[in-house]
Amino acid sequence: MIVCFAREIPLRIFVTGDMTWTGEFIDVRSIRLPFKSPSRISRVLRELSFDTEIDFYSGGTRLAEPHPRKILDTRIRFPNMKDSIILLNEEPLAEVFIPTRLLHRDGQLREILSYLRPALHGRDARNVLVVGGPGIGKTTLVRWLLHEYFDGKFAYVNCLNARSEHKILESILIQLGNAVPENKPTDSLIQTFSKKVNKRVVVCLDEVDQVKGDRVLQTLSAQECGLILISNRLYFLDSVEDRLRSRLFLTEVEFPRYRRSELIDIIQDRIDYALSPGAITKHLVEIVAIWANGDARIALQTLKSAAMNAESGKRDSISIEDLKNGIKGAKRSKFEYVRSKLNEHQAFLLRQIQADMKIESAELFRRYQESFDNPVGERAYRNQMNQLVQTGLVRGEGEGRWRKFEVV
Ligand SMILES: Nc1ncnc2c1ncn2[C@@H]1O[C@H](COP(=O)(O)OP(=O)(O)OP(=O)(O)O)[C@@H](O)[C@H]1O
Ligand SMILES: [Mg+2]
């Protein structure tokens, strides 16, 4: 099954022939058309009023006439085009782009939906915790599901952007259609909650491990709404206080990393919308998938920056060197991104490991206890280290008192 996103498809325009590239065309590239409107497709194309031939294709087969469900790409041939280009449309490779199709996540989609569907009928939904490493479609899938099934009845907050409990509660209330006067104290927001956040709505907290304090989760656990929490910390629940954990009663849905073949499908799907035909070979696509090691974000960023590199070198296809440059940049930005999500404990521990390159666990624990006002126990330290290792920034070897850590 293929999941279709949004009711729009990007109009894919291939430019071939001989004509100089004009700025005017850039606008054309980003046009998006409603799925159900053949007349609009024809009108937009007429409005473009290029004195040129236009062919409509579906899966490589030329169509006799435009068909709203079948058009997958549109080829416009210009008579005098010389400069070949690679990146026809940057949008599908951007982080914020919502793909038209979400591949290889049917199982997770069905499972999460089965837990939340009762909310649609005013019955008790099951709360869900979505966990898994970075770049594997957690945010994308949940946002799509919310828009598709709970339109107007959900609130989504990314807690990396809104970390304080006040901001999070305020954002949820506003998204559920409540006016929240400025400077309203947090306590009074919590009171409004019990009146407004009912069984029929779903609240999603993305990057939930970034929330400071327990109060937001306490408040939500006391409501009847469905809850989706997303985190890339497999050990997130260990840091939640026992009683709160049992009140939240979360069902865990784990997202695995993509397999190489799945990543190839995801990359290829975006290539079809973003790059000119022949811009990258199958072999290089496989290399991107191998290097990305299960992370779709890394794969797409690598591809985008490789395409831009090739284009700025005025070449008409992507080379292995372009990919090498691309992967370096993508990995650097992943490192920064993952680091920005660390809490102050993990950031301290990472700095210590970076300073020593390799450090014994006992020594690290000693420094950790020395540096924080409230001395932490060994269990809490192990929990922080488990989370740090899970980010992929450091690795551990050996067990117990022989355990050592080093930067990856
Ligand atoms: N199955 C898929 N099909 C198409 N695109 C995908 C798929 N999975 C992920 N992507 C793309 O990969 C990128 C990263 O996905 P997403 O932001 O959902 O990851 P995530 O699991 O939430 O990562 P993080 O934990 O770092 O927030 C996005 O650009 C998204 O569009
Ligand atoms: Mg995410």
Q: What are the phi and psi torsion angles at 394 (to 5°)?
A: -130, 160
In this structure, what are the phi and psi dihedrals at residue 74, rounded to the nearest 5 degrees? -130, 130
Per mean pLDDT, which range of 119-123, 232-236, 342-346 is the poorest? 232-236
Tell me if 92 CB under 6 Å of ligand 1. no
| Mean per-residue pLDDT, 197-210 | 92
User: Which of the residue ranges 41-50, 323-332, 361-370 would you say has the lowest mean pLDDT?
Assistant: 41-50
Domain at 342-407: CATH architecture: Orthogonal Bundle (1.10)
State in Å: Cα 394 to ligand 1 middle: 23
Structure tokens at 36: 């159900």
Residue 12 has pLDDT above 50, yes or no: no
Question: In this predicted structure, what is the pLDDT of residue 56?
Answer: 53
Expressed in angstroms and rounded, the spacing between residue 294 Cα and the centre of ligand 1 is: 11
Q: What is the pTM of this model?
A: 0.77
Q: How far apart are CA 136 and CA 372, in angstroms?
A: 34
> Taking 50 as the threshold, does the pLDDT of residue 257 lie above it?
yes
Tell whether ligand 1 has an atom less than 6 A from the beta carbon of residue 102.
Answer: yes
Q: Across the strands, what pairs with 407?
A: 394
pLDDT in tens, 130-149: 999 889 999 999 998 998 89
Contact 297 CB / ligand 1 (< 6 Å): yes
Task: Report which ligand 1 atom has the smallest distance to the Cα of 98.
Answer: 31
Percent of the chain past pLDDT 90, that is, above it, reads 46
Rounded Cα distance, 233 and 133, in Å? 7
pLDDT at residue 65 in the model: 56
Distance (angstroms) between ligand 2 centre and the Cα of 206 equals 7
Q: Which of 81-90, 158-167, 284-293 has the lowest mean pLDDT?
A: 81-90
User: What is residue 64's predicted lDDT score, i.e. its pLDDT?
Assistant: 59
Question: Residue 76 in 3-state DSSP?
Answer: strand
Mapped onto helix, strand or coil, the DSSP state of residue 237 is helix
Q: Is 125 in the pocket of ligand 1 (CB under 6 A)?
A: no
State the first-to-last Cα distance of the chain, in angstroms, to the nearest integer. 38
Are 52 and 76 spatial neighbours (Cβ–Cβ below 8 Å)?
Answer: yes
Contacts of residue 259, defined as CB under 8 A and 6 or more positions apart, other chains included, come to 294
| Site to substitute for ligand 1 among 90, 297, 393, most atoms within 8 A of C-beta | 297
Distance 98 CA to ligand 2 centre (A): 13
Residue whose tokens read 């979400």 = 102
Two structure tokens written together for 79: 């008579």
Distance CA 68, CA 237 (A): 46
Q: What is the signed CA dihedral for 389, 390, 392, 396, rounded to 10 degrees?
A: 30
User: At what angle are helices 165-175 and 186-196 packed, to 10 degrees?
Assistant: 30
Q: Is 190 in the pocket of ligand 1 (CB under 6 A)?
A: no
Q: For the chain, give every domain's residue range.
A: 1-83, 105-254, 258-341, 342-407
**What is the pLDDT at residue 199?**
85
Residue 36 pLDDT > 60, yes or no? no
Confidence of residue 375 (pLDDT cuts 50, 70, 90): low
Q: How far is the CA of 78 from the centre of ligand 2 (A)?
A: 41
- Mutate which of 106, 139, 231, 236 for ligand 1? The one with the most ligand atoms within 8 Å of its CB, which is 139
pLDDT at 330 over 90: yes
Compute the average pLDDT of residues 267-275: 85
**Residue range 29-39: mean pLDDT, rounded:** 39
User: Residue 130 — φ and ψ, nearest 5°?
Assistant: -95, 120
What does the pLDDT average to over 94-103? 75
Quote the distance between the C-alpha of residue 396 and its chain's center. 27
Closest-approaching ligand to the CA atom of 273: 1
Could you tell me if the CB of 95 is within 6 A of ligand 1? yes
Of 2, 108, 140, 304, the residue with max ligand 1 atoms within 8 A of its CB, to mutate for a pocket test, comes to 140
Average pLDDT, the chain: 80
94 C-alpha vs ligand 1 centroid, how far in Å?
11
- Cα(105) to ligand 2 centroid in Å equals 15
CA of 142 to the centre of ligand 2 (A): 9
- Mean pLDDT of the 202-210 span: 94
CA dihedral 287, 291, 296, 301 (to 10 degrees): -90
> Sorting pLDDT into bands at 50, 70 and 90, what band is 395?
very high
- Amino acid identity for residue 6 in this structure: A
Q: What residue's CA is closest to ligand 1, atom 9?
A: 137
pLDDT > 70: percent of the chain: 78
Integer Rg of the chain from CA: 25
- What distance lies between CA 295 and its chain's CA centroid? 10
Instruction: Lowest mean pLDDT of 232-236, 320-324, 356-360, name the range.
Output: 232-236
Contact 388, 349 (CB under 8 A): yes
Kindly state if the Cβ of 334 falls inside 6 Å of ligand 1.
no
Residue 360: predicted pLDDT: 95
SS3 11: coil
Q: Which CATH class is domain 105-254?
A: alpha beta
Closest approach atom of ligand 1 to CA 105: 1
Second CATH level (architecture) for the domain 258-341: Orthogonal Bundle (1.10)
Q: What are residue 77's DSSP bridge partners?
A: 16, 53
pLDDT 10s digits, 107-125: 999 999 999 999 999 899 9
Alpha-carbon span 168 to 158, nearest angstrom: 9
Ligand whose nearest atom lies closest to the CA of 138: 1
CA distance 92 to 90: 6
